[in-house]
Amino acid sequence: MLCVDSTQLYQKNDNGDYQLIDESTSEHYSFKIRDQQEYKLVFDDGYEYAFTCNGSDIEYDYDACTYIYGYTCNINWVKLWRNDAGSWTYVDMESQPNHGLNTYVLQIDSGYDYKVNFSDGHEHEFTCSGSDIRYDWDRCVWAYPPSPWQPPEIIPWYLGYDNNIVFMRDSHGNFIENAQIAVYNKNTGNYTQKWTNTPDPYILLAANNDSNDDVIVMCRTFDGVFTLETVDPAFGTDENVTWTNWTIPIMYNLEIHPIDQSNMPLHHVFVSMYEYTPFDPLAFFGYDTYWGCIPVTNCSGFSRCDIVAEKEGYRDYNATGLNWTTKSALIKDYKHNIVMAKES
């Protein structure tokens, strides 16, 4: 029970009227109630909660406080200040971990002027009139893949600097993840990054140099090393963010293995596969006679697909929205078992 000074318990009598039987001024109230009796709680702000006792304990929490709340991104902390006769008084703070997408909730009181300020220097002033207030402050870059079923990449870039964000995509526009990356500075003759495993599909170039330096970005995949010449921007305060799209034409191979419910290979199976990717989607049709598998080559990276299999005497296999890769640019060949059940 928050922001409540008193809680009253009423019981309904035989006439259908509620009669006050107990009251609590504690933050954690507790009342004795009887089975099969009707009650209501009345809080000091006028809010009521009616209930019937069913023989078990009943827990009901009520929060009468008012809050400012919201989400942040690429922010370290949020501080709350109250205006007391023209002077700002510190009230509370919430840390925002990992520079990522976070939420904050800070309690406010009706009738006061407040402001929240964020770790990047941004401030927002407001007046509490008795209702909750939502205020979001987002300093991230949101990059959306071409496929609507995949979530966006949320990128906490370097605030206070110019940034060059290099996005790695395959020829179908899908993000390439889990590659090995190296960055060579042509101006200094040094590596600023050397073959580190990079789970994200982007490389953030910023806050490294006093001048705009020419760099070579290298991406190691299962199909070899690909290079891109671009710029690592100088220290800058304009916060210019450049988006650089880098197409890395890697393709994947998939072996489809039809098996029965006893894990025995099946033959004479017709298989079709349809990719969801919006850029040049692949549609494949194959028939297995005696190999026990249907190979599919040059598949789009990280895309989902539908697989349908048909065999006489077996129920059709139909998998939708299948994501068969491990989302790794270092693994080219994959295997997918399709389990087919006999017709009854």
CB 308 within 8 A of CB 272: yes
Structure confidence by residue, pLDDT tens digits, 171-221 = 888 889 999 999 999 999 999 999 999 999 999 998 777 788 999 999 999
DSSP code, position 212? -
Q: Considering Cα of 110, then 111, then 117, then 122, what sign does the dihedral take?
A: positive
Q: Which residues pair with 139 in a beta bridge?
A: none
Position 303 confidence tier, pLDDT thresholds 50, 70, 90:
low
Range 315-339 average pLDDT? 86
Contact predicate 292/320, CB 8 Å? no
Q: Which two tokens stand for residue 303?
A: 């895309």
pLDDT for the residue numbered 93:
97
Alpha carbon 10 to its chain centroid, in Å, reads 46
Q: 223: which 2 tokens?
A: 């199909």
Q: pLDDT band at 322, cuts 50/70/90?
A: confident
The residue-averaged pLDDT of 319-344 equals 86
Per-residue pLDDT, 21 = 95
Arithmetic mean of pLDDT, 223-249: 91
Tell me the pLDDT band of 10, cut-offs 50, 70 and 90.
very high
Distance CA 182, CA 247 (A): 16
- Do 168 and 121 touch, CB atoms closer than 8 A? no
CA dist 293 and 297 (Å) reads 13
pLDDT category of residue 302 using cuts at 50, 70 and 90: low
Asked if pLDDT for residue 1 goes beyond 60, the answer is: no
C-beta of residue 9 within 8 angstroms of C-beta of residue 41:
yes
**CA 321 to CA 123: how far, in whole Å?**
44
Taking only the tens place, the pLDDT of each residue in 289-300 is 677 788 888 887
Write down the mean pLDDT value for the chain.
90
Is the pLDDT reported for residue 284 higher than 90? no
Check pLDDT > 90 for residue 160: no
Q: From 231, 277, 264, 242, select the one nearest 155 (Cα to Cα).
A: 242
- The closest of 78, 35, 74 to 54, measured between CA atoms, is 35
Q: Which domains does the chain possess?
A: 7-52 (no CATH), 66-138 (2.60.40.1120), 141-247 (2.60.40.1120), 252-339 (2.60.40.1120)
Mean pLDDT is lowest, of 1-10, 205-214, 228-237, 296-305, for: 296-305
How far is residue 172 from each of residues 82, 204, 250, 252, 332, measured CA to CA in Å? 52, 22, 10, 12, 16
Q: How much is the pLDDT for 221?
A: 95
User: Structure pTM?
Assistant: 0.76
**What pLDDT was estimated at residue 299?**
83
Q: Give residue-wise pLDDT tens across range 106-149.
A: 999 989 999 999 999 999 999 999 899 999 999 999 998 776 66
pLDDT digits (tens, 9 = 90+) for 35-88: 999 999 999 988 999 999 998 999 999 988 999 999 999 999 999 999 999 999
238 close to 162: Cβ distance less than 8 angstroms:
yes
Distance between CA atoms of residues 206 and 165, nearest Å: 9
For the beta sheet containing 294-299, the strands, ordered from the edge strand earlier in sequence to the opposite edge, are 294-299, 252-259, 333-339
